[in-house]
């Protein structure tokens, strides 16, 4: 018979197994955990890497994994460990969602602009060049280029534009993706405050076990894989403080303060960053698009109006000078009234007044006036026929016999 005391009693798993089980559960839940640099195992954590880290000696552990093991050994809180290992991923996702909206808008704007330039190049551009070629056929038109340089350049631009856009997208992906560019465009302060908030919660959990302040700060910053500015902010905040169990409330309040600061920065970024990107990149694209479309048309109108703009006022050439209207000829009426005859004589030249003076008795002109009439330019005046028509009789005054 076996001794009852020799039977194995249920025992709890060692802390290392609990730690690795927690990491494996996070990996199976598809929570991205980055191990950081250093050690033989790095990059994104997988189930195979969890099993490999179990068997590796501590000297080969990555820096971030080693810090997570030490913090877990002091606190036993797996949730705070996972928050520290995933805070950077969560921050980058928030920033990427913020920037993706602007990227999609700018990409849509670029596609629509490309289609508009393509229509202009192949349907309107040839008409513009044809009009410029016709201008060379008019002698009075000043010398102008046979084709518009922008219209000639647009086919090459349209051929290169897709490759340029593809290169920009590839460059963004190589340099860290949209989230890294969001951090470069103003999101670094949000990441710093968010990391500082998690660091304060980690330090508060270690303060209950009387971990020294300097060691707690180093372990929390190594676990977060934080940037130098985050480490400086945490060290500056806790400089001169002595950590103990009573410091937990103060540290949690500091963590809430940094969390609120991160939320405020995100609110500002949601408003400012899309506006700035749209104004700078989108505005530049719209200006280039408008210039490519309207400059050929404006230049054509400018060259067509150049002949009239260069000629001075009142000095038009004979081919362009307006012809004055012909003056109406005077109408001669059949009448014996001397007053009416005088009025008709005044409408013709002085020389011809002599003829009427000879025909009408008692209407001789002085010699000086006759000589002056002879010196004037001779021009013909067609005298109407004195036909005895009803129209002629209509001009005869009553009481005057013909």
pLDDT digits (tens, 9 = 90+) for 264-302: 999 999 999 889 988 999 999 999 999 999 999 998 888
* Angle, CA 69 vertex, CA 67 and CA 72 arms, to 5°: 105
Residue 362 has pLDDT above 80, yes or no: no
Residue 211 has pLDDT above 70, yes or no: yes
CA distance 117 to 357: 83
Q: How buried is residue 257: exposed, middle or buried, by Cβ count under 10 Å (0-12/13-18/19+)?
A: middle
φ, ψ (nearest 5 deg) of residue 11: -125, 155
pLDDT digits (tens, 9 = 90+) for 73-88: 888 888 889 988 888 8
Residue 114 has pLDDT above 80, yes or no: yes
The predicted structure's pLDDT at residue 21: 87
Residue 140 has pLDDT above 70, yes or no: no
CA distance 178 to 96: 6
Q: At what angle do helices 78-119 and 188-207 cross, to 10 degrees?
A: 170
Of the candidates 61, 39, 2, which has an alpha carbon nearest to the alpha carbon of residue 20? 61
CA distance 146 to 129: 7
Whether the full predicted model's pTM is greater than 0.75, yes or no, is no
Instruction: Spell out the SS3 assignment of the chain.
Output: CCCHHHCCCCCCCCHHHHHHHHHHHHHHCCCCCECCCCCCCCCECCHHHHHHHHHCCHHHCCHHHHHHHHHHHHHCCHHHHHHHHHHHHHHHHHHHHHHHHHHHHHHHHHHHHHHHHHHHHHHHHHHHHHHHHHHCCCCCCCCCCCCCHHHHHHHHHHHHHHHHHHHHHHHHHHCCHHHHHHHHHHHHHHHHHHHHHHHHHHHHHHHCCCCCHHHHHHHHHHHHCCCHHHHHHHHHHCCCCCCCHHHHHHHHHHHHHHHHHHHHHHHHHHHHHHHHHHHHHHHHHHHHHHHHHHHHHHHHHHHHCHHHHHCCCCCCCCCCCCCCCCCCCCCCCCCCCHHHHHHHHCCCCHHHHHHHHHHCCCCCCCHHHHHHHHHCCCCCCCCCCCCCCHHHHHCCCCCCCC
How high is the mean pLDDT of the chain? Answer: 77
Residue 377 has pLDDT above 50, yes or no: no
The predicted structure's pLDDT at residue 157: 93
The answer to whether 330 touches 347, Cβ cutoff 8 Å, is yes
CA distance 254 to 9: 45
The answer to whether 224 touches 199, Cβ cutoff 8 Å, is yes
Give the confidence band of 162 by pLDDT, cuts at 50, 70, 90: very high
Residue 322 has pLDDT above 90, yes or no: no
The predicted structure's pLDDT at residue 331: 61
Residue 164 has pLDDT above 90, yes or no: yes
Q: What is the mean pLDDT of residues 348-376?
A: 49
Give the confidence band of 345 by pLDDT, cuts at 50, 70, 90: very low
The predicted structure's pLDDT at residue 238: 86
């Amino acid at each position: 018979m076996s001794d009852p005391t020799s039977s194995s009693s249920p025992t709890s798993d060692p802390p290392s197994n609990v730690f690795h089980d927690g990491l494996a559960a996070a990996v199976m839940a598809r929570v991205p955990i980055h191990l950081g640099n250093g050690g033989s195992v790095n990059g994104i954590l997988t189930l195979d890497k969890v099993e490999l880290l179990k068997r590796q000696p501590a000297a080969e552990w990555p820096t971030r994994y080693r810090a997570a093991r030490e913090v877990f050994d002091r606190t036993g809180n797996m949730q705070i460990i996972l928050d520290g290992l995933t805070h950077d991923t969560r921050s980058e996702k928030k920033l990427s969602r913020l920037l993706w909206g602007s990227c999609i808008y700018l990409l849509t704007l670029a596609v629509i602009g490309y289609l508009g330039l393509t229509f202009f190049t192949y349907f309107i551009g040839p008409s513009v060049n044809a009009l410029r070629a016709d201008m060379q056929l008019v002698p009075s038109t000043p010398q102008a280029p046979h084709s518009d340089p922008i219209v000639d350049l647009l086919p090459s631009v349209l051929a290169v534009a897709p490759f340029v856009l593809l290169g920009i997208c590839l460059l963004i992906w190589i340099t860290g993706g949209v989230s890294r560019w969001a951090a470069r465009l103003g999101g670094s302060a949000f990441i710093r405050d968010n990391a500082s908030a998690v660091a304060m919660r980690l330090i508060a959990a270690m303060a209950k076990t009387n971990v020294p302040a300097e060691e707690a700060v180093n372990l929390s910053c190594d676990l977060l894989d934080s940037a130098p500015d985050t480490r400086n902010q945490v060290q500056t905040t806790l400089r001169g403080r002595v950590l103990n169990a009573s410091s937990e409330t103060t540290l949690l309040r500091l963590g809430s303060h940094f969390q609120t600061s991160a939320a405020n920065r995100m609110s500002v970024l949601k408003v400012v960053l899309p506006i700035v990107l749209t104004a700078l990149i989108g505005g530049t694209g719209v200006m280039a698009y408008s210039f490519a479309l309207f400059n050929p048309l404006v230049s054509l109108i400018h060259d067509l109006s150049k002949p009239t703009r260069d000629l001075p006022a009142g000095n038009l050439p004979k081919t362009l000078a307006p012809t004055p209207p012909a003056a109406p000829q005077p109408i001669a009426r059949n009448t014996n009234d001397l007053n009416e005859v005088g009025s008709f004589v005044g409408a013709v030249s002085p020389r011809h007044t002599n003829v009427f003076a000879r025909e009408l008795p008692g209407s001789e002109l002085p010699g000086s006036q006759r000589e002056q009439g002879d010196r004037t330019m001779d021009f013909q005046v067609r005298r109407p026929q004195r036909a005895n028509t009803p129209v002629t009789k209509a001009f005869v005054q009553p009481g005057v016999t013909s």
